[in-house]
Amino acid sequence: MPGAAMPRRIDPSLIPSRPNLKYEKGLWQAGVEYVAGVDEAGRGALAGPVCAGAVMLPPKNSIFRQLKGVTDSKQMTAKQREFWAAEIKARAVSWGVGFASANEIDSIGIVPATRLAMGRAIEELDQFVEHLLIDALLLPEVSTPQTSLLKGDARSLSIACASVLAKVARDKVMIEMDNNYATYGFARHKGYGTRAHRTAIKQYGPSEMHRLTFRPIREE
């Protein structure tokens, strides 16, 4: 139920060796054909937007084999993510990405901004969605039936695909941002709180791309 409290941990035995179609198949077999996985990238960064992806896979078992290299985006190299992002887009029924800016994050908070980005990604889908599989969150403002899965990008192929698209899209933005804010090294660390990034913040102060409400920025 949207808005319900979610557990924070999951039994490791429930995490498969690679994301699969267990949850998608359960819905497909129940007659729910149009299922979209949703995930974010950049929630813990100190700068730049948070990005969300939404991916609707075709309701067929063969998609598991066709997307065999897709896993949690954090476990993939940049080259692997780029390759599989193209495969996901080519094979998905529909896909979308959405962003919430650093200013929006500062204005409403990171969790509401993450939900905002997810809602924008869902709006980019050109196919009506019957059910959402979401990594770790629920979207109370979205009326579509939904299931929240802790470690969803490791358990659901749809969510893993969404995580890949979100990560690739956000990395592209951060690399482009580096052209205007080269002193911070965004192209290298993508806005996360590395030692080099924190040193640059101390030396130059935060830019307008930084999340000023985040503690490491406030305390510098």
| Residue 76 belongs to some domain of the structure | yes
- At 8 the pLDDT is 66
| Residue 57 belongs to some domain of the structure | yes
| Residue 31 belongs to some domain of the structure | yes
The residue whose two tokens read 């509401």 is: 112
Count the neighbouring beta carbons within 10 Å of the beta carbon of residue 119.
17
| Residue 217 belongs to some domain of the structure | no
- At 147 the pLDDT is 97
| Residue 196 belongs to some domain of the structure | no
- At 220 the pLDDT is 65
| Residue 147 belongs to some domain of the structure | yes
Q: Minimal CA–CA distance to 42: which of 148, 134, 114, 137?
A: 114
Q: The CATH number of the domain where 130 resides is what?
A: 3.30.420.10
Sheet bearing 50-56, strands edge to edge: 94-100, 50-56, 35-41, 131-135, 146-149
Domain count, the chain: 1
| Residue 142 belongs to some domain of the structure | yes
Question: What range defines the domain where residue 38 resides?
Answer: 18-172
Tens-binned pLDDT, residue by residue, of the chain (220 aa): 344 445 567 788 778 989 999 999 999 999 999 999 999 999 999 999 999 999 999 999 999 999 999 998 888 999 999 999 999 999 999 999 999 999 999 999 999 999 999 999 999 999 999 999 999 999 999 999 999 999 999 999 999 999 999 999 999 999 999 999 999 999 999 999 999 999 999 999 999 999 999 988 887 6
